[in-house]
Structure 1
Amino acid sequence: MPRSCRFLVFLGVWWLPLMLAGAEEQQDKGCSRSASNCGNLNISDPFWLPDWNVGRSCGPSDFEVTCFGNAPVLQSSLGIGFKIIDISYGERSLRVVDGGKLDLFPGSERCRLPVWNTSVKLGHPFTIDPGSLSLILYNCTDGAAAAAWASATSRDRELVQTTMGCGDEMKVLASAGVPYDATGSYAGYALEGCDAIIVPVMGSSAGKANASYYKQLIDDGFRLTWEGPTLPAPA
């Protein structure tokens, strides 16, 4: 091989890592994927905060966290995302609140329908802690709510009337303490004339949840675990 060609090969081998490092540095420049704070919560890899001024993605979209009024929110493809209460990086878990359910409380400036099952708003790489309990919210017409109330009373089944809802045409009832089922098999808890919405909750240390405290159960959130972000396939 001519000496000039050997020199070009050597120069390419020496220069390529510098070019890649420079590109990576340029991509990360202005990003907030390194440890940052939102409110009093530390946001670190694999989670990242977008930099609106740069307009550049700084990590996997599944782990994007937006800071709204000092409150970190994990984004969702369906409706409002999940407010993050705490993160355990060592255990790869975080406690979150389904923000869409908070909009159904009295005094909320927004009331969005349809209201999705919480699990529908989540996808890979997040999984609801299998030790969770379920809070079932029943969206019923007045007639169906009255019938469900009478049926629950006769069967000694816990069912409470809530102050949640969108307008006065529907009544929202709540039942709690049902073990969380990742397969979504809740047919045995259906009420005729009512649409059921499943919200995972943590319950008490004794593994119980009282439907009378439905607002507190939602506010306390539930725990998610995550798998590490998928690495790109080698070229």
Structure 2
Amino acid sequence: MPPLQLLLILLPLSASFLRLPAPAGAACSPKTCGDLNITYPFWLEEGGGRPPCGSPSFQLNCNGRHAFLSRSMFGRYQVARVFPENNSLVAVNHNLLVPPRAGCPPWWFNISLGLGLGPYTINRKNREVLVLYNCTEPQQVAPPGFNRTRCADGSFFRLGGEYGSHRELGVVPSACSLSVVPVLGFPDGDDDYVQSMRQGFLLEWTVPSDDCPECEASGGQCRYAGDGTGFSCGCAGVAHREKCGELTKIN
């Protein structure tokens, strides 16, 4: 066959290979969003009708600079840092990052409710900021242990101890609503409670399987099964149940 004719036959074939879709495993490989590395169990929401790479609870969306938990109520939670070695992350409620009106953030949000009933728990190593707000009766004097905020809404704040210790407080005014905000901490004597809240708080998560170390040791990548509900180990584009090299594969 003349070389020119052979070349004309091979060109369409090579072009078709270039258009082949990437293996399914490539779409679920680790990603980055800004300075954040996104690895198992988290996965990045992408368009194009691609199948999910994991549990909806660990789905993140990226605005080009920051990653946010896709499944939360009452606001967006930005993932600032992730510590995969101990299953924890630092999250910031996006309501606190929006320039507040008159220097006052919205007190109404409840972080524990906003996270829903997912795999996340608020670490008890956090401290807590307590806010009394929306008082239906004017409080002429700050309640014991509280200080008046700089806001014009008649609210009060208190820098508390370990997260959850507010349950040991005495009676708070029944005419006021109470908001409890976990924070990483605050300098002694510092009353910049808003800045403390903007630094975020520590969350822990649980995963449905602890097989990831064994999978990675075998040269695989930790992922979820195709339906996003169970663990799988990605090995050169093939999903195994626990680790690479085993006979059992996941269809």
Farther-moved stretch of structure 1 (92-101 vs 133-142): 133-142
Residue 160 of structure 1 is matched in structure 2 by 148
What is the correspondence of 1:181-220 to structure 2 with a 5 Å cutoff?
A: 181=164, 185=167, 188=170, 190-204=172-186, 210=190, 212-220=191-199
Tell me the distance in 2 between the aligned counterparts of 1:172 and 1:66: 34
Q: Which of 168, 171, 186 is residue 154 of structure 2 equivalent to?
A: 171
Give the number of equivalent residue pairs: 190
Query: Which residue of the other structure, out of 32, 51, 61, is the alignment partner of 1:66?
Result: 61
1:84-233 matched pairs, under 5 angstroms: 84-103=79-98, 105-106=100-101, 115-122=108-115, 123-141=117-135, 143-144=137-138, 146-147=139-140, 150-152=141-143, 155=144, 157-163=145-151, 170-181=153-164, 185=167, 188=170, 190-204=172-186, 210=190, 212-229=191-208, 232=230
Cα distance, 1:101 vs. partner?
3.8
Kindly provide the CA deviation profile for residues 157-180 of structure 1, in whole angstroms up to 9, marking residues without a partner as x: 2413133xxxx7x43322112331
Deviations 1:181-205 (A, max 9, x none): 18x736636233211111101114x
Question: d(CA) in 2 for partners of 1:209 and 1:34?
Answer: 46
Q: Label 1:64 to 1:209 Cα distance change in 2 as closer, same or farther (>3 A).
A: farther
Change (3 A) 1:107 1:72: farther
Aligned to 1:6: none
Q: Which residue of 2 aligns with 1:48?
A: 43
Shift of 1:140: 2.5
Cα gap change, 1:228/1:71 in structure 2, threshold over 3 Å: closer, same or farther?
A: same
Between the two proteins, what is the percent identity of the paired residues?
22
Q: Give the letter for the 2:193 counterpart.
A: Y
> Which shows bigger deviation, 71-80 or 134-143?
134-143
Partner of 1:80: 75
CA offset digits 1:133-165 (Å, max 9, x no partner): 111122234853x33xx143xx4x2413133xx
Find the aligned partners of 1:162 and 1:107 in 2 and give their Cα distance: 9
Shift of 1:59: 1.0
Decide whether the 8 Å contact of 1:140 with 1:173 is kept in 2.
Answer: no
Secondary structure of 1:66's aligned partner: strand
Cα RMSD of the aligned pairs, angstroms, is 3.2
What are structure 1's unaligned runs of at least 5 residues?
Answer: 1-24
Partner secondary structure for residue 77 of structure 1? coil
Gaps of 5+ in 2: 1-22, 210-228, 232-240, 242-249
Tell me which amino acid in the other structure corresponds to 1:116: F
Contact 2:142 2:148 in 1 (8 A): no
Q: Which amino acid aligns with 1:160?
A: R
Distance 1:227 1:34, change over 3 A: same
CA distance in 2, matches of 1:186, 1:104: 33
Aligned to 2:244: none
Provide Cα deviations, 1:202-229, integer angstroms capped at 9, x if missing partner. 114x8x574x211111111111111113
1:57 match: 52
